[in-house]
Structure 1
Amino acid sequence: MGVLVVIPARYASTRYPGKPLVELRGATGVSKSLIQRSWEAAMDVAGVDRVVVATDDYRIKHAAEAFGGEVVMTSQDCQNGTERCAEALDTLGGAYDVVVNLQGDAPLTPAWFIEDLVAGLSADPVAEVATPVLRCDGYALNGLLEDRRHGRVGGTTAVFGADHNALFFSKEVIPFTGKTYADNDETPVFHHVGVYAYRPSALAAYPRWASGPLEHLEGLEQLRFLERGAHMLCVEVEARGRQFWELNNPEDVPKIEAMLAQMKQP
Structure 2
Amino acid sequence: MSVLAIIPARYGSTRYPGKPLAQIAGKMMIERVWTIAAAASGVDRVVVATDDTRILDAVTAAGGEAVMTDEACRNGTERALDAMKRLNSDAEIIINVQGDAPLIPPWVIGDVAETLRADTRLQMATPAVELPPETEERMRADKAKGSASGTTVVFNKAMDAMYFSKNVIPFRRKPGAGMPVFQHIGLYGYRRETLETLVSHEPTPFELTESLEQLRALENGIPIRVVLTDYRGRSAWSVDTPEDAERVADIIMREGELV
Q: TM-score, normalised by structure 1?
A: 0.87
Aligned counterparts, 1:156-171, within 5 A: 156-171=151-166
Aligned to 1:188: 180
Aligned to 1:20: 20
Alignment partner, residue 32 of structure 2: 37
Q: Any idea what SS the aligned residue of 1:48 has?
A: coil
Equivalent in the alignment of 1:67: 62
Query: After superposition, what is the alpha-carbon deviation per residue over 1:83-106, rounded to whole angstroms, capped at 9, x for unaligned?
Result: 111111111113112111111111
Question: Which of residues 216, 223, 226 is equivalent to 1:224?
Answer: 216
Aligned to 1:127: 122
Partners of 2:210 and 2:88 lie apart in 1 by 32
The alpha-carbon deviation at position 151 of structure 1 amounts to: 4.1
**Does residue 99 of the first structure (1) align with residue 94 of the second (2)?**
yes
Taking structure 1 as reference, are residues 53 and 209 closer, same or farther at Cα in structure 2, changes over 3 Å only?
Answer: same
* Distance in structure 1 (CA, Å) of the matches to 2:12 and 2:216: 22
Q: Would you say 1:86 and 2:81 are equivalent positions?
A: yes
* Distance 1:163-1:62 versus aligned 2 partners, 3 A rule: same
CA RMSD of superposed structures (Å): 2.3
Task: Give the whole-Å Cα distance in 2 for the aligned partners of 1:70 and 1:58.
Answer: 13
State which drifts further: 149-158 or 199-208: 149-158
Within the alignment, does 1:6 sit opposite 2:1 as a pair?
no
Structure 2 equivalent of residue 252 of structure 1? 244
In structure 1, what is the Cα distance between the partners aligned to 2:244 and 2:139?
12
How far has the Cα of 1:131 moved from its partner?
0.4
What is aligned with 2:111? 116
Query: Can you list the C-alpha shifts for 1:145-173, whole angstroms capped at 9, x where unaligned?
Result: 45435544322221111111111112222
SS at match of 1:133: strand
Between the aligned partners of 1:249 and 1:149, the Cα distance in structure 2 is 22
Q: CA shift at 1:139, angstroms?
A: 4.9
Equivalent residue number for residue 28 of structure 1:
none
2:94–2:192 CA contact under 8 A, matched in 1: yes
**2:124–2:189: 8 Å Cα contact kept in structure 1?**
yes
Aligned counterpart, 1:209: 201
Is this contact kept in 2: 1:159–1:168, CA < 8 A? Answer: yes
Equivalent pairs, count: 256
Q: CA offset at residue 246 of structure 1? A: 2.0
Alignment-mate amino acid for residue 72 of structure 1: V
Moved more, 97-106 or 214-223: 214-223
Could you say what secondary structure the match of 2:225 adopts?
strand
Q: 2-side partners of 1:141 and 1:249: how far apart?
A: 24
Q: Which runs of 5+ in 1 are unaligned?
A: 26-30, 182-186
Do the aligned partners of 2:42 and 2:114 also contact (CA within 8 Å) in 1?
no
Structure 2 residue corresponding to 1:136, chosen from 128, 131, 135: 131
Q: Are the aligned partners of 1:154 and 1:249 in contact in 2 as well (CA < 8 Å)? A: no
Structure 2 unaligned spans of 5+: none
Displacement of 1:262:
2.7
> What SS class does the counterpart of residue 207 from structure 1 fall into?
helix
Q: Percent identity?
A: 44
How far off is 1:59 after superposition?
A: 2.4
With the length of structure 2 as denominator, give the TM-score of the two structures: 0.89
Q: Deviations over 1:229-262 (max 9, x none)?
A: 1011000012222222222444433432232123
